[in-house]
């Protein structure tokens, strides 16, 4: 059986600039992910590794590229879901740790819980021995310098979805937040069924104005359209996104289904994205 | 909402199904329910779990029924005078948050560090707007804070100190965290932490505990209490349909006794423990992690859109097939646009009640209390 992989670096890009560095990094990343899948790695391990690299790159609004919130604190969210076992782990408003996606994975694998938030989540990560950020001001290099104006919705997330050679699906999402984000604000990324989802038929990672993705439960909606409506992956993803847009939001998503189909629709100006499959498809793009 | 043709068919089927279900479940005494159209409707839950007749004394049984009846009366009064579903949900939830019998607000489960942290969500089905909070420590009514998030910010979900900060800015009543703590819950915390081999946190000053059980039998009873689902994962929830046909839902919880690490369950997560759209509203209670992994509330509303599926079948399919299949425990209250309310649970009991413009209030505790409310053949539906 073949494999499929997709990654995204957020739906925030503006046509006022180019994204050559990001695209070059994403190309190298996809090649690494393709190698892993060729070697028989699990979808779960591959999406975790992809998101970990995106966090570390500092090129996107997550991980190293995150900005401080209105209190001057770097709060990060992440989630991972293993479709084969329908297991999930997530962290919200996590402060002080370098790899939110590894924190989410630890929640999934080391606790009976799904979502840990705030100081409690940080205490858990400390106990797990996850790598800390001793000096936030020195570590973080915000990918977007612009501050949010009061009430503006944050925008910027990374994610990965994969179907491995054994047919298992997984999704992972991680997000930082923009300068001046309201303290304690949580978007869709760590919410299972909103920004992140994987089951036996589809894996989804979303990016965009998270509030609208929560209200429409976009990721769960895609699975339901396929399950109950018999829709194809492309129709389901486009339809769920259109419903979200109809409420006034913007953004995009990547999704892969059990047959290995991949889709990456967006209703924003652009979305940093890459797709690779064992059938030879390989593309990295930011705009249409 | 999504497959519009399918929804239209479903509504017709459901409309026909209401009378049939009513006749089956309530018998001849309330048969006129089918004739009187529902203008407003309200259903509530106060947690699901190991609630057996042998566990509750007659006094406890009566206290819970009285609390449920009182909550129904408050919400019904709002709806009967033409108030919105959202107002009814908030008013009902506030009362239940204040009642120490339920795991929400005062009398909520206490975390391993000796503090109460509350989660809540509210959703307006008419426009799919939502607000949610987690880790609230000083705001007396988390449901009202969730509503403030929905109505006065552009956000949906606020966590921790930022959430309480918003409450202060909006003038919501603030209390000391110890105000939420009751002696009964403290005893449960001690029991759970002892069982888990964790240290006991300092007791809040002024909290007088009832004497420790002296007889081994009473001790065993307390142990049973703490293992009961009611103490481990109670919740309160409300669904309502107003006379303008709008649906709304609200859910509040203190989460798990002895919880650690900032654990957040399904209650504040839109789609998992709380969901409302134009045709369906759900509030859930139970082992939250399983409800998150199944997005239970959203899944029930998807099931209900399938042509030929009754509301009861939709709820039972997700609870008795999917939730039970995964190993989760709990229950839900579900309401459709016609104001039909159903319950589904795979536990021994769920504190619950319902009332509508067409039917008097009913309150129930044990799973087998009303024939046909749980375990219909829907669980056997093909996947």
- Which of B92, B139, B182, B235 is labelled catalytic? B235
Task: Confirm or reject contact between B62 and chain A (CB < 8 A).
Answer: no
Q: Which two tokens stand for residue A128?
A: 């797990």
Q: What is the mean pLDDT of residues B39-51?
A: 92
Residue B279 has pLDDT above 70, yes or no: yes
Chain A residues whose CB is inside 8 A of the B305 CB are 228
Q: What are the residues whose beta carbons fall under 8 Å from the beta carbon of B233, sequence distance 6 or more?
A: B47, B49, B103, B109, B253, B255, B256, B265, B285, B286, B287, B288, B330
Integer CA distances (angstroms), B68 to A37, A169, B142, B353, in order: 55, 44, 19, 6
Whole-number Å distance between alpha carbons of B267 and B286: 9
Return the closest-CA partner of residue B236 out of B34, B98, B126. Answer: B98
Interatomic CA distance for residues B154 and A148, integer angstroms: 13
Best mutation target among A83, A94, A111, A185 (most B Cβ atoms within 10 Å) is A185
d(CA A121, CA A115): 9
Cα of A40 to nearest chain B Cα, Å:
26
CA-CA-CA-CA torsion sign (B99, B104, B105, B106): positive
pTM of the model: 0.90
Reported as a single tens digit per residue, the pLDDT across B302-331 is 999 999 999 999 999 999 999 999 999 999
pLDDT of the residue at B17: 35
Question: Considering only CB atoms, which chain B residues are within 8 Å of A118?
Answer: 135, 159-161, 262
Distance CA B133, CA B156 (A): 8
Mean pLDDT estimate for chain A:
94
Q: Which of A189-198, B120-129, B210-219 has the lowest mean pLDDT?
A: B210-219
Report in angstroms the alpha-carbon separations of A197 from A219, A255, A259, B293, B357: 6, 9, 17, 9, 40
pLDDT by residue (tens digit) across A183-207? 899 999 999 999 999 999 999 999 9
With respect to residue B202, please indicate whether it lies within any of the assigned structural domains: no
In the numeric block, which tokens belong to residue B135? 């880790």
**Rounded to whole angstroms, how far apart are CA atoms B295 and B328?**
12
Asked if A182 and B153 come within 8 Å (Cβ–Cβ), the reply is: yes
Tell me, yes or no, whether B29 lies in a domain.
no
Mean pLDDT is lowest, of B17-26, B89-98, B121-130, B262-271, for B17-26
Whether pLDDT at B374 is above 50:
no
- The answer on pLDDT for A167 being more than 50 is yes
pLDDT tens digits for B143-175? 999 999 999 999 999 999 999 999 999 999 999
A185 and B133 Cβ atoms separated by less than 8 Å? no
Percent of chain B with pLDDT over 70: 81
Domain assignment present for residue B206? The answer is no
Q: What is the ipTM of this complex?
A: 0.94
Determine whether the interchain pair A93/B159 forms a contact, defined as Cβ–Cβ distance below 8 Å: yes
Question: Which chain B residues are within 8 Å of A183, Cβ to Cβ?
Answer: 161-162, 165
Residue A287, Cα to own-chain centre: how many angstroms? 18
Q: Looking at chain B, which residue has its C-alpha nearest residue A84?
A: B293
Contacts of A247 in chain B (CB under 8 A): 128
Name the minimum distance, in Å, from the CA of B161 to any CA of chain A.
Answer: 7
Residue from the list A113, A119, A185 with its beta carbon closest to the beta carbon of B263:
A113
Least trusted range by pLDDT, from A171-180, A189-198, A270-279: A171-180
Q: From the CA of A42, how many Å to the nearest CA of chain B? A: 20
Q: Which residues of A touch B9 (CB under 8 A)?
A: none
Entry field: residues in chain A: 288
Please tell me which of the candidates B153, B263, B295 has its beta carbon nearest to residue A217. Answer: B295
Q: What is the pLDDT of residues A118-153, one digit of tens each?
A: 999 999 999 999 999 999 989 999 888 777 665 566
CATH number at residue B299: 3.60.20.30
Domain that holds residue B76: 2-15+37-179+227-374
How far apart (Å, rounded) are the C-alpha atoms in residues A108 and A113? 7
A275 backbone φψ class: left, alpha, beta (φ>0; ψ -120 to 50) = beta
Of the listed ranges A95-104, B6-15, B96-105, the least confidently predicted one is: B6-15
Of all residues in chain A, the one with the smallest CA distance to B260 is A120
Q: Do the chains contact at B155 and A211, CB–CB below 8 Å?
A: yes
The total domain count for chain B is 1
Whether B382 has a pLDDT exceeding 50, the answer reads no
Is residue B235 among the annotated active site residues? yes
Give the chain A residue whose CA is nearest to the CA of B134: A117
Residue B315 belongs to a domain: yes
Is B292 an interface residue toward A (CB < 8 Å)? yes
Separation of alpha carbons B10 and B309, rounded Å: 7
Side-chain-facing half-sphere of B286: CA atoms under 13 Å: 31
Instruction: Flag the least confident range among A125-129, A251-255, B247-251, B346-350.
Output: B346-350
- Give the pLDDT confidence score for residue B371 in this predicted structure: 41
CB-based contact, B108 to chain A, within 8 Å = no
Cβ contact B261–A227 (<8 Å): no
Give B-chain residues touching A114 at CB under 8 angstroms: 288-289, 292-293
Q: Does B152 touch chain A (CB under 8 A)?
A: no
Domains of chain A: 4-146+153-285 (3.60.20.30)
Alpha carbon of A288: minimum distance to chain B alpha carbons (Å): 27
Q: Which of A93, A216, A224 sits opposite B128 (nearest CB)?
A: A216
Contact B110, B181 (CB under 8 A): yes
**Tokens at A31, concatenated:** 């090649």
Q: Which one of A153, A214, A225 has the shortest CB-CB distance to B2? A: A225
Question: Which of A112, A184, A215 is the closest to B163 by Cβ?
Answer: A184
Residues whose CB falls within 8 Å of the CB of residue A126, separated by 6 or more in sequence, listed in order:
A132
Mean pLDDT, range A35-56, rounded to an integer: 97
Q: Which of B129, B157, B288 sits opposite A186 (nearest CB)?
A: B157
Cα B350 to Cα A83, B47, B64, B282: the distances in Å are 31, 6, 11, 15
- The least confident of A189-203, B93-107, B220-234 is B220-234
> What is the C-alpha separation between B136 and B105, in angstroms, rounded?
10
Q: Does B168 touch chain A (CB under 8 A)?
A: no
């Amino acid at each position: 059986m073949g494999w499929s992989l997709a990654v995204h670096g957020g739906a925030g890009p503006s046509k006022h600039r180019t994204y050559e560095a990001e695209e070059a990094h994403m190309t190298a990343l996809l090649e690494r992910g393709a190698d892993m899948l060729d070697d028989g790695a699990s979808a779960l391990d591959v999406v975790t590794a992809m998101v970990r690299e995106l966090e570390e790159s500092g090129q996107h609004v997550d991980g190293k590229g995150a900005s401080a919130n209105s209190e001057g604190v770097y709060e990060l969210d992440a989630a991972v879901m293993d479709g084969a076992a329908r297991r999930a782990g997530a962290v919200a408003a996590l402060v002080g740790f370098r790899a939110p996606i590894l924190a989410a994975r630890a929640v999934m694998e080391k606790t009976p819980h799904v979502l840990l938030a705030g100081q409690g989540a940080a205490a858990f990560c400390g106990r797990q021995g996850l790598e800390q950020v001793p000096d936030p001001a020195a570590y973080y290099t915000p990918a977007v310098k612009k501050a949010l104006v009061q009430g503006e919705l944050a925008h910027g997330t990374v994610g990965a979805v994969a179907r491995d050679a054994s047919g298992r699906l997984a999704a992972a999402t991680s997000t930082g937040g923009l300068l001046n984000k309201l303290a304690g604000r949580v978007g869709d990324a760590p919410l299972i069924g909103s920004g992140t989802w994987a089951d036996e038929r589809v894996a989804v990672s979303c990016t965009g104005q998270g509030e609208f993705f929560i209200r429409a439960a976009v990721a769960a909606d895609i699975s339901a359209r396929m399950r109950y409506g018999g829709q194809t992956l492309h129709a389901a993803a486009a339809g769920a996104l259109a419903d979200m847009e109809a409420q006034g939001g913007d953004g995009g998503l990547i999704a892969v289904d059990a047959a290995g189909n991949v889709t990456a629709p967006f209703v924003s100006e652009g979305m940093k994205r890459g797709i690779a499959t064992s059938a030879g498809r390989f593309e990295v793009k930011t705009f249409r | 909402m999504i497959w519009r043709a399918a929804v239209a068919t479903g509504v017709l089927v459901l409309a026909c199904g209401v009378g049939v279900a009513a006749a089956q479940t309530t018998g001849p005494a309330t048969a006129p329910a089918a004739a009187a159209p529902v203008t407003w409707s309200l259903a509530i839950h106060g947690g699901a779990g190991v609630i057996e007749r042998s566990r509750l004394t007659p006094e406890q049984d009566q206290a819970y029924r009285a609390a449920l009846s009182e909550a129904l009366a408050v919400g019904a009064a709002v709806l009967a005078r033409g108030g919105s579903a959202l107002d009814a949900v908030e008013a009902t939830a506030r009362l239940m948050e204040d009642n120490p019998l339920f795991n929400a607000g005062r009398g909520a489960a206490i975390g391993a560090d000796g503090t109460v942290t509350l989660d809540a969500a509210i959703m307006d089905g008419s426009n799919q707007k939502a607000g949610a909070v987690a880790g609230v420590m000083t705001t007396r009514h988390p449901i009202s804070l969730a509503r403030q998030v929905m109505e006065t910010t552009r956000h949906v979900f606020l966590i921790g100190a930022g959430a309480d900060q918003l409450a202060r800015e909006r003038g919501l009543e603030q209390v000391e965290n110890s105000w939420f703590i009751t002696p009964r819950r403290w005893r449960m915390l001690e029991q759970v932490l002892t069982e888990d081999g964790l240290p006991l946190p300092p007791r809040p000053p002024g909290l007088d505990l009832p004497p420790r059980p002296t007889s081994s039998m009473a001790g065993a009873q307390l142990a049973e209490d703490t293992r009961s689902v009611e103490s481990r994962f109670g919740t309160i929830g409300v669904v309502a349909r107003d006379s303008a046909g709008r649906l709304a839902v609200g859910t509040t919880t203190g989460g798990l006794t002895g919880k650690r690490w900032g654990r957040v369950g399904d209650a504040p997560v839109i789609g998992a423990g709380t969901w409302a759209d134009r045709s369906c509203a759900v509030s859930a209670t139970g082992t939250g992690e399983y409800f998150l992994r199944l997005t239970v509330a959203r899944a029930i509303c998807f099931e209900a859109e399938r042509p030929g599926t009754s509301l009861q079948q939709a709820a039972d399919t997700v609870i008795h097939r999917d939730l039970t299949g995964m190993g989760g425990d709990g229950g839900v209250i579900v309401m459709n646009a016609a104001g039909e309310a159903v319950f589904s649970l795979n536990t021994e009991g769920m504190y619950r009640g319902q009332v509508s413009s067409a039917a008097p209030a009913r309150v129930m505790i044990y799973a087998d209390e009303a024939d046909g409310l749980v375990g219909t053949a829907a669980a056997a539906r093909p996947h």
